[in-house]
Chains A and B, each alone.
Chain A
């Protein structure tokens, strides 16, 4: 597998209406793969939560032309790798978050593995998730 080639690559403005676009792109990919309904549901929810974080938290100073999020997906034989990336301010505690703060714990619970990279205003944030395509039981994760 070529590490630089992804089957799905999406780059969109970090606006709320684009979260569904990313979710449906990944759903379409999963439906073309031998995945169970549970894996499809988990991918949809985890990707939605990751993209929502980009929309809600990454660009607190508003949306310039660089305020985007990207989604990359690479299906392997037994595993789907999904990366959600923004170029915003990075992950930091936000006591004034309008949401429940469940996004990151949900991603961790739904994915087989998850890694967070970045966290600076220069590099933004990458959420790197893997999902077992043949997972059929229980919640993914891990530590």
Chain B
């Protein structure tokens, strides 16, 4: 079993990068929600890097949507990283739900950080 971790990297140029490792579902959703809420309440642009995530479900999607909404309310940047190295399982839920266009999604952390810093909630 992959280690479930949610790690907040030191902000890059003022952008907080939340790195999601391993499998995440209803059990870890509250923790991710809390992390995102705290960062967004502080007005930080936030990038959620799903590259090392090996599984997410609709509970996590809901948290990400909540983060996007909160970022827009605070006029903060918010972006996701789902790159070539991302697990098919992670891409699958975005594809099946049709939610890819809703999120600002980037293939690399660098692109996502640049977009979030520029208040890029339009991916």
Which residues of A approach B to under 8 Å, CB–CB? 16-17, 19-20, 23-24, 37-38, 41-42, 44-45, 48-49, 52, 55-56, 98-100, 102-103, 106, 109-110, 139
Contacts and interface: CB of A to CB of B under 8 A. Distances in A.
B121 to A, nearest CB: 19
A44 B62 contact: no
B89 interface: yes
Nearest to B54: A44
Contacts of A38: 88, 92
Contact of A48 (B1, B57, B88, B96): B57
A38 B87 CA distance: 11
Interface of B: 1, 23, 25-27, 55, 57-59, 61-62, 65, 88-89, 92-93, 96-97
Contacts, number: 61
A110 B96 CA distance: 8
A110 B93 CA distance: 10
Nearest to A110: B96
A23 B25 contact: yes
B27 A99 contact: no
B25 A102 contact: no
A88 B26 CA distance: 19
Interface SS of chain A: helix
Contacts of B23: 20, 23
A106 B93 contact: yes
A102 B26 CA distance: 13
A139 B97 CA distance: 11
A16 B27 contact: yes
B58 A106 contact: yes
A49 B1 CA distance: 19
Contacts of A52: 25-26, 57-59
A6 B61 CA distance: 32
Given A19-B26, A37-B88, A109 B96 contact: yes
Contact of A102 (B1, B55, B58, B92): B58
Contacts of B96: 45, 106, 109-110, 139
B55 A23 contact: yes
Contacts of B25: 16, 19-20, 23, 48, 52
Contacts of B93: 45, 106
B26 A56 contact: yes
Nearest 5 interchain pairs by C-beta: A16-B27, A41-B89, A102-B58, A100-B62, A16-B26
A14 to B, nearest CB: 11
Contacts of B27: 16-17, 19-20
